[in-house]
Amino acid sequence: MKRFALAGNPNCGKTTLFNSLTGSSAHVGNWPGVTVEKKDGTYKKLKEPISIIDLPGIYSLSPYTSEEVIARNYIIDEKPDCVINIVDATNLERNLYLTTQLLEIDVPMVVAINMMDILNKRGDVLDLEVLQEKLGIPCVEVSALKEDHLDELMKAAYEASKQPRIGRSVFLNKDLVHLIGDVKIAFEGKGVDNPLFHAIKLIENDEVEVKMHGDLVKMVDEFKKTFNDDVFGDDIEAVIADSRYKYITAEFAKALTRNRRSDDDEVISTQSDRIDRFLTHKVFGLVFFAVVLFLAFHLTFSENLFFLGGLFKNVVPSFEGSIYEGLFWSESGINSPGVIMFNFFDMSFSALTDAARGGLDAALGVGHWFTGFLCDGVLTGLFAILGFLPQILLLFLFFSIMEDTGYMARVAFIFDKLFRKFGLSGRALIPMIMGFGCSVPAMINTRTLADDKEKIATVRVIPFFSCGAKLPILLGIAGAIAEVFGFSNVDLITYSMYVLGICTAVIAVLIMRNTTLKGDSNPFIMELPAYHLPQFKALMIHLWDKAKHFVKKAFTIILASTIIVWFLTNFGWNWHMVDSVGDSILGSIGQLIQPIFTPLGFGSQLSPIGWVFAVAAITGLIAKENVIATFISLGTVAVAFLNSGVVDPSVIEAIEADENGITATVAMIHATGITWQGCISFIAFNMLTIPCFAACATARAELPKGKFKWTLLFWILTSFIGSAFVYCFLSMFSRATLAWAIPVTVGLILLGVCGGFCIHFYNKRQRTRKLGA
């Protein structure tokens, strides 16, 4: 099958063209070794099917970003049958800059001129015949969006692919042409493919080229000595870039007739400028951003849409009495679209599980291990993950719209300075904020970060931005603290835990960017794309793709992990099912690891039943809601422990009736003898530790190879250090513990500050040493 590669600048309509050409046959993966998206699909309207490869959007073939290297290597090494270069007609000069570089490679090529309609609307005219003649390759006017002339384009590409094309360069400078000719001969002598391309890149002192053809460097340097430009001297890199642009303005621009009005005023205000005046304004810009964020979260997670709850106080829940009771609204308010979808899945799933359980109970007898395995292990675990899919996708959709319209680039622009202080760019803000909803779409969103180190740092701290599923832990335990210890400000606990997460994230990023993930960030030299309306089709393709990947993960890695945890919870070491978690493998693991939580306040200082906290933390890996679910199921065990085995059935009922888990947690606090400091430390531990399996699976897919295991270690370490600090810090406020807590806390703070200074001065010394060398 013939292979055509799409190449072009970012924001030139390349992805739209790809979607239009390939339709549903598109397949998304990663380029080997990097987390840059690779898309390929099939075009079927020609005599034979054509494989279309979407190369990353690039401005040039320099070797400085992974996108550029990928595109370049693909064309040079994989030798596609034709390169289709998409050019945005409204931004001709910069788009043709890439074209001049592609022209140098010995590969058949056609140019697709996109967005001609916008150009014409401005009153400008582009003469394709002239441009085609100057470029020496076919040019086809297309509209990627309206899918106009795509067949023509593909026919032209098909014709072009039939015969080889020899690369040509576009320089007017005679000395330069001469120099290139000499080096090209040397490459031809070596029998290298694409001699012209390699010759120019070597003259440019291109890193990759110098490494590959080191033997020729000396000779080229000799040649270069004879070269001297009036303006640039011997700075050939600048000469070449400049010559390309000069050629473009001198030759290709002849094809473009500008409307006189825009000629007079180069900086004429466009529609995007007018929007920007508001959206990047000092005050309105921030307000607008806050409102957009609020809406995205509100429409995804709210159970009281637009705060209309009061209106529905006396209305019965929707579908009362059916399995879908409360699907659209309940007494407390109208549900947001996200919650409605969540409810629909959740209610259907639990009805399904109940039906399966009923059927199996009838067939196998009540309490058979297989019923437990299927219903509690497989189905509950799977549904817990799949139930979140609608909300994950909806949140992802809102942020994709912001990305597609060009608004995200503005957000990065506004917040860049703030984030630079922590060694990140403004782009990192969005995934972090998404983390408050769900870590899964947040981690996927880190793809927009150009720098790998920045991406790793961001993925690692995303779980610290406490997601929706962690809120029940907060509310359940904080509620119990209020009840047992008479602490009335539950919201203060909740609020400070969110702040703790953000502070930990900031400190962790600062430490990583100065130690393990050191390095300059990528240049923040980016185009602010013109605003445009989001495209429904592209968004849906994007979402469908994410859903597919997530479901695949849910059925493989996440399901497997869930089954393992179910097995550990329900089986003893003798491979028989047990009645109480206390006798299970997980229970004994909990008892075994209980001592390591001592510095965190929920370890050996508790009563023998203190292992419940360790167990709840482990079951929380399936989904964070499970922490409270485990508390509820262990509440009975706690009561039994307190009353030496005798449990009043009404107590069990009360525990199981309280869905928020406050009653169960209260029983747990009484049985284990945990202090309020220990309780808060336990919340902190769950906030900072390894996120749920779904987030882990996403992190593993998004992180570069080999980084996931270190990320797991990072989460474990951070949660231990973080909650140990929280425990010590809070223990200062209790008369019984302040004697040891004050010196330890002060010691920890001093240690942290000293460590910070050591890193700072070590890095400073390294830097001066490097400069000295």
Q: Which residues contact 45 (CB under 8 A, 6 or more apart)?
A: 151, 154
**Whole-Å CA distances, 635 to 124, 600, 677, 725:** 75, 22, 20, 28
**With CB under 8 A as the contact rule, which of the stretches 186-194, 278-286, 681-689, 747-755 interacts with another protein?**
278-286
Residue 448: exposed, middle, or buried by beta-carbon count in 10 A (0-12, 13-18, 19+)?
middle
If one asks whether residue 288 binds another protein (CB under 8 A), the answer comes out as: no
Count, residues near another protein per rule CB under 8 A? 43
CA distance 647 to 387: 35
If one asks whether residue 533 binds another protein (CB under 8 A), the answer comes out as: no
CB nearer another protein, residue 210 or residue 563: 210
List 241, 292, 507, 701, residue binding another protein (CB under 8 A) = 241
List 275, 526, 551, 654, residue binding another protein (CB under 8 A) = 526
If one asks whether residue 491 binds another protein (CB under 8 A), the answer comes out as: no
**Whole-Å CA distances, 407 to 63, 270, 436, 630:** 28, 16, 20, 42
**With CB under 8 A as the contact rule, which of the stretches 73-81, 92-100, 582-590, 764-772 interacts with another protein?**
92-100
CB nearer another protein, residue 56 or residue 603: 56
Q: What is the CA angle 659-354-301, rounded to 5?
A: 45
CB nearer another protein, residue 190 or residue 420: 420
**What is the per-residue binding string for another protein in 353-392, x denoting contact by CB under 8 A?**
----------------------------------------
CB nearer another protein, residue 378 or residue 528: 528
CB nearer another protein, residue 85 or residue 570: 85
* Residues 465 and 459: beta-carbon distance below 8 Å: no
CB nearer another protein, residue 59 or residue 197: 59
What is the footprint of another protein within residues 246-265 (CB under 8 A)?
246
CB nearer another protein, residue 91 or residue 660: 91
CA distance 98 to 244: 9
List 238, 323, 746, 754, residue binding another protein (CB under 8 A) = 238
Question: Per-residue b/e over 121-145, b at no fewer than 16 CB within 10 Å?
Answer: eeebebebebbbebbebbbbbbbbb
How do strand 50-54 and strand 2-8 relate by DSSP bridges?
A: parallel
Residue in the structure block whose two tokens are 């010559």: 243
If one asks whether residue 133 binds another protein (CB under 8 A), the answer comes out as: no
Q: Where are the alpha helices (DSSP H) in 365-428?
A: 369-371, 380-386, 389-405, 407-420
Please report how close the Cβ of residue 251 comes to another protein at its closest, in angstroms.
Answer: 15
**With CB under 8 A as the contact rule, which of the stretches 88-96, 168-176, 539-547, 581-589 interacts with another protein?**
88-96
* Residues 573 and 585: beta-carbon distance below 8 Å: yes
If one asks whether residue 289 binds another protein (CB under 8 A), the answer comes out as: no
CB nearer another protein, residue 169 or residue 302: 169
Please report how close the Cβ of residue 131 comes to another protein at its closest, in angstroms.
Answer: 16
If one asks whether residue 285 binds another protein (CB under 8 A), the answer comes out as: yes
List 286, 315, 716, 754, residue binding another protein (CB under 8 A) = 286
CA distance 603 to 351: 39
If one asks whether residue 577 binds another protein (CB under 8 A), the answer comes out as: no
* Amino acid identity at 425: S
What is the footprint of another protein within residues 400-439 (CB under 8 A)?
409, 413-414, 416-418, 420
How do strand 2-8 and strand 333-334 relate by DSSP bridges?
A: unpaired
Please report how close the Cβ of residue 414 comes to another protein at its closest, in angstroms.
Answer: 6
* Amino acid identity at 194: N
SS3 563: helix
CB nearer another protein, residue 232 or residue 328: 232
CA distance 116 to 13: 12
* Amino acid identity at 617: A
Residue in the structure block whose two tokens are 């690692």: 460
CA distance 260 to 228: 38
**What is the per-residue binding string for another protein in 26-65, x denoting contact by CB under 8 A?**
---------------------------------xx-x-x-
If one asks whether residue 538 binds another protein (CB under 8 A), the answer comes out as: no
* Amino acid identity at 521: S
**With CB under 8 A as the contact rule, which of the stretches 106-114, 190-198, 241-249, 642-650 interacts with another protein?**
241-249
CA diameter of the chain: 98
SS3 432: helix
* Residues 87 and 12: beta-carbon distance below 8 Å: yes
CB nearer another protein, residue 51 or residue 262: 262
SS3 736: coil
Can you say whether the dihedral through the CA atoms of 355, 361, 362, 368 is positive or negative? positive
Please report how close the Cβ of residue 393 comes to another protein at its closest, in angstroms.
Answer: 31
List 362, 525, 646, 736, residue binding another protein (CB under 8 A) = 525
If one asks whether residue 294 binds another protein (CB under 8 A), the answer comes out as: no
If one asks whether residue 245 binds another protein (CB under 8 A), the answer comes out as: yes
CA distance 573 to 584: 7
If one asks whether residue 94 binds another protein (CB under 8 A), the answer comes out as: yes
If one asks whether residue 281 binds another protein (CB under 8 A), the answer comes out as: yes
List 127, 237, 320, 579, residue binding another protein (CB under 8 A) = 237
**What is the per-residue binding string for another protein in 504-523, x denoting contact by CB under 8 A?**
------------------xx
Please report how close the Cβ of residue 426 comes to another protein at its closest, in angstroms.
Answer: 8
If one asks whether residue 90 binds another protein (CB under 8 A), the answer comes out as: yes
If one asks whether residue 282 binds another protein (CB under 8 A), the answer comes out as: yes
CB nearer another protein, residue 208 or residue 742: 208
Neighbours of 419 (CB within 10 A): 19
List 97, 328, 345, 567, residue binding another protein (CB under 8 A) = 97
**With CB under 8 A as the contact rule, which of the stretches 91-99, 355-363, 453-461, 496-504 interacts with another protein?**
91-99
CB nearer another protein, residue 62 or residue 561: 62
If one asks whether residue 210 binds another protein (CB under 8 A), the answer comes out as: no
What is the footprint of another protein within residues 176-205 (CB under 8 A)?
none
CA distance 684 to 498: 9
CA distance 626 to 491: 22
CB nearer another protein, residue 200 or residue 382: 200
Please report how close the Cβ of residue 97 comes to another protein at its closest, in angstroms.
Answer: 7
Element (H, E) at 42: strand 37-43
CA distance 393 to 387: 11
**With CB under 8 A as the contact rule, which of the stretches 89-97, 479-487, 548-556, 563-571 interacts with another protein?**
89-97
Q: Which long-range contacts (CB under 8 A, 24 or more apart) does 517-525 make?
A: 517/453, 517/456, 517/457, 518/453, 518/763, 519/453, 521/420, 521/423, 521/424, 521/425, 521/451, 521/453, 521/454, 522/65, 522/425, 522/450, 522/451, 522/454, 524/416, 524/425, 524/426
Please report how close the Cβ of residue 64 comes to another protein at its closest, in angstroms.
Answer: 4
List 193, 263, 273, 320, residue binding another protein (CB under 8 A) = 273
**Whole-Å CA distances, 3 to 25, 52, 74, 108, 495:** 15, 6, 11, 11, 55
List 231, 646, 736, 773, residue binding another protein (CB under 8 A) = 231
If one asks whether residue 736 binds another protein (CB under 8 A), the answer comes out as: no
Q: Where do contacts with another protein occur on this chain (CB under 8 A)?
A: 59-60, 62, 64, 90-94, 97, 231-232, 237-238, 241-242, 245-246, 266-267, 272-273, 276, 280-282, 285-286, 409, 413-414, 416-418, 420, 522-528, 530
